[in-house]
Amino acid sequence: MPHRPLFALRTSGGVCAGEQWICDGEKPIACLTRALVEQPEQNLRYFNQNLKPLELRQLVLAPGGRPLVAGVQLFWNLRTLITSELVDLQVQGQESEQLVLTLISREPGGVATSRRVLTLSYDPERGSYIYAFAAHLEIHSPEVFDNPREFGGGEHLTLQYSDPWYCDVPGPTVEFPGMWRKRYTHLLAEQGDGSVWQMPLNHLATGIPCPQSFREGGLLVLAHDEGNNPAFEFVGATASRSALAVCNWGYDLHLLARYTRDELYAPICERFRVRLCPDTKAQALQEAAAPVPKVEYAGCTELPLYERRTSFARPLRLDQPTGGPTDPWPWLPQGQGARWCRDFGRSDDHSLMIAKEHAGPTEWIMDREGDGAWTQKWTPAIGFRVSVYIKTQNVGGRGSFLALRWDVHNEYNPERYPYHCSQKLVGTHDWTRVQVEIHGPPPPAIHALCLILRQDGPGTTWFDDLEVELL
């Protein structure tokens, strides 16, 4: 018997105001939310500018399936302005095979009004729910955007119609008890020129050129988990007008559309669908995909990946998906003379090295240890004890050392927290173990701990056999 859907928007019972879920029969398949989003997600996802975002969350794409898309934003990001204020919600087709939700929101200053229409249906051939979104926008004061400051001499203005993100992506950045399963390795897309684009998931490849248009009806697919590959489908004129940007935090997708000056003065509508991509299609896209372009960071095509106990021997290859059950971040060189040493170390042939003649600091940093960077949850009692072995040769200045620092990433939140430093080694020392601790509660809005290996002065330093212990 083919599945017959019976959709409804329901309010669940609760202590006070209940949650709103779209249901298929008795089964909840997506949550309509306008809840207060706290730190660190508020900072990282909404730039502290949209405290109660209007979103569809935990989208199930097949009857009986698990949620595959964690969130689809139902508002417009108009440069620095957002249609953040909910005006109305209209529901049609309750208890039917096609549910239509119309969500009206406005930019609080009165610049624009958004009318986001979700039409939910079921495609029995693909065994997939179809979440069809129409993102209408009426700009009441186009002059706000139609000026030299916003266009900057270009012919088009870019506005963001959604910023969706996935379930289970990225994988956990370190191994820990109770961690979720890593399932995906690639993003694939059918571009406007007919070619197929691929991006390996490894945090650093998000810098490769992303699609600047899509084939009409083209797909953007997260792959490869059998039977569970979510797709965004670009409908009609939206396909050629859309560009994609991918954020390395969690591979969330910035869906952007380009407009001429004249187009800002007329009603705007972008259309996209969220649905399952058949496995055969995902495989065909992978086989047809153009090669991954060279990916570099500070001249490196591979970097040592972060582990809580490391000899700095394992590489993160920037043009490939990360293997294994985790999705780690790499150690990053900052400043002159930082080199990943592949022929010398304490217990093997790998270490992190800084060698330079001039004064001042160079660092190796890893700034993604923490529950805002996909590890286990923190409590206020969190603390870290970190140790590393340091070998120095003729180091002058303030010396070589390990440091820890609470860390927050966002232009709206300056990095204001102090370095907690270990013993500093000046001169020439054989392998010497240094250690430093940092104790919670972390300051507000903090999402991670930053680990720093620093040489402040001329000379040569090797760092090896790092250990991170949660207290």
Q: Which residues bind Ca ion (CB under 5 A)?
A: 311-312, 345, 348, 350-351, 464
Q: Which is nearer to Ca ion, 312 or 331 (CB)?
A: 312
Task: Name which of 114 and 351 has its Cβ closer to Ca ion.
Answer: 351
CA gap 426, 428 in Å, rounded = 7
Question: CB of residue 352 vs Ca ion: minimum separation in angstroms?
Answer: 9
DSSP states along 314-339: -EEETTS---SS--PPBPEEESTTEE
CB of 362 to Ca ion, least distance (A): 19
Sign of CA dihedral 278, 294, 327, 375: negative
CB nearer Ca ion, residue 62 or residue 453: 453
What kind and span of H or E run contains 239?
helix 238-241
* Nearest approach, Cβ of residue 299 and Ca ion (Å): 22
Please state the closest distance from residue 451 (CB atom) to Ca ion, in A: 16
> Shortest distance, CB of residue 305 to Ca ion, whole angstroms?
13
Give which of 431, 400, 435 is closest to 420, Cα–Cα: 435
Task: Kindly state the smallest distance separating residue 392's Cβ from Ca ion, in Å.
Answer: 16
- 23 contacts: CB under 8 Å, gap ≥ 6: 7, 8, 9, 10, 29
User: At closest approach, how far in Å is the CB of 69 from Ca ion?
Assistant: 40
Integer Cα distance of 345 and 267 in angstroms = 63
> For Ca ion, which is the closer residue by CB, 184 or 312?
312
Between CA 201 and CA 211 the distance in angstroms is: 16
Residue closer to Ca ion by CB (options 172, 345) is 345
Q: Which is nearer to Ca ion, 12 or 435 (CB)?
A: 435
Spatial neighbors of 180 by CB under 8 A, at least 6 apart, are 168, 171, 172
- Min separation Cβ 138 and Ca ion, Å: 60
Of 185 and 460, the one with the shorter C-beta distance to Ca ion is: 460
Helix (H) or strand (E) holding 10: strand 7-11
Q: Which residues contact 194 (CB under 8 A, 6 or more apart)?
A: 215
Q: Which is nearer to Ca ion, 187 or 353 (CB)?
A: 353
User: Would you tell me how many other CB atoms lie within 10 Å of the CB of residue 196?
Assistant: 20
* Count of CB atoms situated within 10 Å of the CB of 78: 22
